[in-house]
Amino acid sequence: MTRATASTPLRAVLRQPRRRHGRRALPEAAALVAPVLSDLGGRAGLTDVTGWRAHGASWTSTGTATFPVGPVGEAPLAVLRMSLTGAERLRYETTVLATLDRAPGLSELRPLLPTRRAEGAAGRWWYVLDEHLSGVDATTADARLRGHVLDSGVGVANALHRDTAVPVLVDDVLLRRWVDEPVDALVHLLRHWPTGWPSERLARLRRRLRTELNGRWVHAGWIHGDFWLGNLLVDPATGAATGLVDWDCAGPQELPAHDLLHLALFGIAVERRVNLGTVVAESLAKGTWPVACEDVLRHARWSWDDTIGDSTVLLLYWLRHVVLVARQQRDHVEHSVLAWRWHNVVRVLRCL
């Protein structure tokens, strides 16, 4: 992307062409599938992967090459994912899955978690191999099952939240993690904003969240962190959940509202073909989120009380989300980073 300067018109910068790194990176990753499987075939417990082949290939928006793999002529038995820039995220996901596997409870959720069989380096790529989960991407399920699919998603989220959330006091330690660190990340992110940026908006955000959250009791526990239908697998015949994937945004001691807000608001953004920041900004301007969002979020209202306003919960969710996405952005992004920041960060800050 062309570097923006203070004299660069914002409109011109936002129109910069998209980059398509996946078009050249995916074939490079595909060429490594056979060598990786061959190497894994020599390890204890993985001899069955010898002779497996890729059954397809795809490139995600976070720069990950994904290959369902298995014996020739049979259904895939595992999923091999490779990333040039996301090694840290994939390693963190391994830690999350291992932690959740050891956690007490989670009897409903555990069968839906990926089972990690291996990870390692292949040249400049980092890879992970997970057992294949049945089902289809929930976004591709029959439209007639939409209600069942959404209910399944809410049920999965509730299983995670109810089994891990405990009462916590929002003290200075938690405020530093929930508010100060992500706000500092936005300050750094917008330091070279081409049209200049009033830092008082970010200071106002920090003050608002600290004031409204400090000293409050909430229920907090593990969240998925990127909980939307694209990461949910369902039975194509019934809409029942069969798996939940991509745990690299997960975290402990977080509000359950994060997952259900993302499920609802990101779903609305996808349907309308707008940025998530547009939906968040509209909700802040109106002082309430869409009815469809409340239908989902009511399942998490047990985790905070009426002394914390809905707009505060919304801002806290948005803050965590945009900082995580910004940290994921590397040369693999297929859009203008500056355009993403305008639509998803600046538009929301302008509402404050």
Domain ranges of the chain: 22-131, 136-349
155 pLDDT above the threshold of 60: yes
3-state SS of the chain? CCCCCCCCCHHHHHCCCCCCCHHHHHHHHHHHHHHHHHHHCCCCCCHHHCCCEECCCEECCCCEEEEEEECCCCCCCEEEEEECCCHHHHHHHHHHHHHHHHCCCCCCCHHHCCCEEEEEEECCEEEEEEECCCCEEHHHCCHHHHHHHHHHHHHHHHHHHHHHCEEEECCHHHHHHHHHHHHHHHHHHCCCCCCCCCHHHHHHHHHHHHHHHCCCEEEEEEECCCCCHHHEEECCCCCCEEEECCCCCCEEEECCHHHHHHHHHHHHHHHHCCCHHHHHHHHHHHCCCCHHHHHHHHHHHHHCCCCCCHHHHHHHHHHHHHHHHHHHCCCCCCCCHHHHHHHHHHHHHCCC
Q: How confident is the model at residue 1 (pLDDT cuts 50, 70, 90)?
A: very low
326 pLDDT above the threshold of 90: no
pLDDT digits (tens, 9 = 90+) for 16-45: 344 445 667 899 999 999 999 999 987 867
Report which of residues 50 and 230 the model is more confident about. Answer: 230
Q: What CATH number is given for 22-131 in this structure? A: 3.30.200.20
67 pLDDT above the threshold of 50: yes
Mean pLDDT value across the chain: 89
Q: Give residue 197's pLDDT.
A: 63
Q: Which fold has domain 136-349?
A: Aminoglycoside 3'-phosphotransferase; Chain: A, domain 2 (3.90.1200)
Q: Give residue 9's pLDDT.
A: 42
